[in-house]
Amino acid sequence: MTEFIRKIVPNAKDDVLAGITVSLAMIPEVVAFAFVAQIDPLMALSGAFIIGLITAIFGGRPGLISGAAGAVAVIFVTMIADGHTKGMLMDTPIENMGFFYLMACVVLMGIIQIFAGVFKLGRFVRLIPHPVMMGFVNGLSIVIFMAQVKMFSHKSMEVSDAGVKEYVGTYMQGSELYVMIGLVLLTMGIIWGLPKITKKLPAALTAILVTSLIVIGFNMDVSTVGSYIVEGGGTGLKGEFPTPNMELWEKLPFNLDTLKFIALPAFLAASVGLIESLMTMNLVDELTETRGNGNRECVAQGAGNIVSGLFGGTGGCGMIGQTVINVNAGGRGRLSGIMMAVTLLSFILFADKLIEMVPIAALVGVMFMMVIETFAWSSFRILKKIPMADAIVLITVSLVTVFVDLAVAVFVGVIISALVFAWENAKKIRARKRIREDGTKVYEIWGPLFFGSIQAFNDKFDVKTDPEKVEIDFVESRISDHSAIEAIFNLVEKYEAEGKSIKLKHLSEDCKILLYKSSPKFRDVVVEDIDDPRYHLAANPEDFPKPLSEYKL
């Protein structure tokens, strides 16, 4: 039994301490995202607990931390506001109806993610090029840094002339700003210096505790977790154990109109959540030199969001900042994610007053160190060494992540990389031409034949001036797609229209099958069962009593 436990939690001490550290860093970020989406911070914290716990237990990447992420929260902002309006326009007006639409949307989001895992769409993350990955990491690091800079301000509620309520931030000044900067630098200094003295103490957690004790001991008037929540419109961190939200079933109309209203934001949130989770999983794979299961992670993320929606929580996904903090603190196993979720719940239920005393500066310092460690500084060094197209992709993805959206950035990066790849391979098609003694003109095709190289392929042939007999040899070419087969079909049609004989050699078996299906006449055009002119098997016939075709070589 002891041996079994060791296999499950081989790094128990580090996982536990890392989980506690991450839970502390999770609170202000989740609360900030709740303010962005204009929902109750406790709703976001409940979602972070549920999603974090389920993905930690069932996910495909031990060490990955999930919670109520900002990339998902921003998608719900408009839907919640429109939902409130729809609720007030009902026959029986319902206040705060947008929150019930949110919960239904999160459930649908989870269902979509589970389908993505069942249909094994998680494996497509392998198609994301390395420059896109570097751009993602850099862009997200900048976004997290900018979010921390906003912590150097105080929020206040203001009402515009149109009657719209909004939070306005006023940046700190004078001694308050200097104290804040000093505490942040102290936290960063401890995280940087403590590992050089001893690695037995978790640097990030120690830094938070030391900074908090200094603030409490000297009774310093600084921004804390509690004051931050109150400034944002919350009432505090104290909450209850999450239970199924029965009001969802009582007040939300389950009809086609509701489905149409939540379908698009649910799909967008599911897509963004999976992209960030799978990209974060890839990052952890690189940091730990192990490999996670993308499809399993999709299913776990979906299950977490479904339960979160049913229990009145918001949607979430993998969080790169908290994940990097966890990995750097030594968290490698599932226990670290479980500990994060359990500790977060414990703070809400029992230790709310203590956690509200933690200075924001300590948590900002931890996040700043995470940004420094996560940002791919090597990208500056290699920009002039990598192909121009890869450099453009890296910079573009970074900028789009910062100014637009993570999902859009990844899609843009993959599309640019794919187009560059297609363009470069399209230029590799070649044709060696020669005339046999019998007057047959032979075209030996080299390079991949696919949609991008069709034009260059067609330009190699001169149908009108070629002799009566033409042979096209695909021995050094690969037919890649339907466009290539269509090009071959059209070329044969042109030669036959001129009354010329054409033969095709060394086509792949799948290409032959498709050509035969398109037209029976290709059985006369394609040359079957010919010896390869370049590759021969040197062997004595007596060594092979059966025909060579019966051997699996």
What helix, strand, coil percent values describe the chain, rounded to 5?
Answer: 65, 10, 25
Kindly report which listed range (54-68, 310-324, 404-418) carries the lowest average pLDDT score: 404-418
- What would the mean pLDDT of 35-44 be, rounded to a whole number? 80
Phi, psi of 389 (to 5 degrees): -60, -40
Residue whose entry in the numeric block shows the structure tokens 């060791």: 6
pLDDT higher than 70, residue 160: no
The mean pLDDT value of the chain amounts to 85
Give the pLDDT band of residue 156 (cuts 50, 70, 90): low
pLDDT higher than 90, residue 40: no
Task: Locate 396 and state its tokens.
Answer: 């573009």
Give the pLDDT band of residue 151 (cuts 50, 70, 90): confident
Residues whose CB is less than 8 angstroms from the CB of residue 328 and which lie 6 or more positions away in sequence, other chains included:
204, 370, 373
Predicted local distance difference test score (pLDDT) of residue 552: 45
Rounded-to-integer distance, Cα 131 and Cα 113, Å: 26
Task: Give the three-class secondary structure for 227.
Answer: helix
CA angle 463, 469, 470 (to 5 degrees): 55
Task: Locate 440 and state its tokens.
Answer: 């047959």
Predicted local distance difference test score (pLDDT) of residue 320: 86
Helix (H) or strand (E) holding 478: strand 469-479
pLDDT higher than 80, residue 392: yes
Predicted local distance difference test score (pLDDT) of residue 298: 95
Q: How many CA atoms lie within 13 A of 362 on its CB side?
A: 29
Please check whether residue 54 is in contact with residue 307, taking contact to mean a CB–CB distance below 8 angstroms: yes
Edge to edge, the sheet with strand 469-479 lists: 430-435, 441-449, 469-479, 501-505
- What would the mean pLDDT of 263-285 be, rounded to a whole number? 90
User: pLDDT digits over 353-387, tens only?
Assistant: 888 899 999 989 998 998 898 888 888 888 888 88
Give the pLDDT band of residue 545 (cuts 50, 70, 90): low
Bridge partners (DSSP) listed for residue 469: 501
Task: Locate 325 and state its tokens.
Answer: 């903090």
- What would the mean pLDDT of 26-34 be, rounded to a whole number? 81
Please check whether residue 292 is in contact with residue 64, taking contact to mean a CB–CB distance below 8 angstroms: yes
Predicted local distance difference test score (pLDDT) of residue 529: 54
Predicted local distance difference test score (pLDDT) of residue 544: 47
Please check whether residue 98 is in contact with residue 244, taking contact to mean a CB–CB distance below 8 angstroms: no
Please check whether residue 446 is in contact with residue 478, taking contact to mean a CB–CB distance below 8 angstroms: no
Amino acid at 123: R
Q: What is the DSSP string of 96-128?
A: THHHHHHHHHHHHHHHHHHHHHHTTGGGGGGGS
Please check whether residue 265 is in contact with residue 75, taking contact to mean a CB–CB distance below 8 angstroms: yes
Please check whether residue 237 is in contact with residue 229, taking contact to mean a CB–CB distance below 8 angstroms: yes
Give the pLDDT band of residue 127 (cuts 50, 70, 90): confident
Predicted local distance difference test score (pLDDT) of residue 534: 47
Please check whether residue 46 is in contact with residue 316, taking contact to mean a CB–CB distance below 8 angstroms: no
Residues whose CB is less than 8 angstroms from the CB of residue 33 and which lie 6 or more positions away in sequence, other chains included:
44, 68, 69, 70, 73
C-alpha pair distances (Å), 328 with each of 119, 261, 323, 408, 431: 33, 41, 9, 29, 54
Please check whether residue 194 is in contact with residue 206, taking contact to mean a CB–CB distance below 8 angstroms: yes
Please check whether residue 370 is in contact with residue 324, taking contact to mean a CB–CB distance below 8 angstroms: yes
Predicted local distance difference test score (pLDDT) of residue 337: 94
Rounded-to-integer distance, Cα 219 and Cα 235, Å: 22
Look at 31 and 166; give whichever has higher pLDDT: 31
Predicted local distance difference test score (pLDDT) of residue 362: 92
Residue from 482, 478, 427 nearest 455 by CA: 427
Please tell me the pTM assigned to this model: 0.77
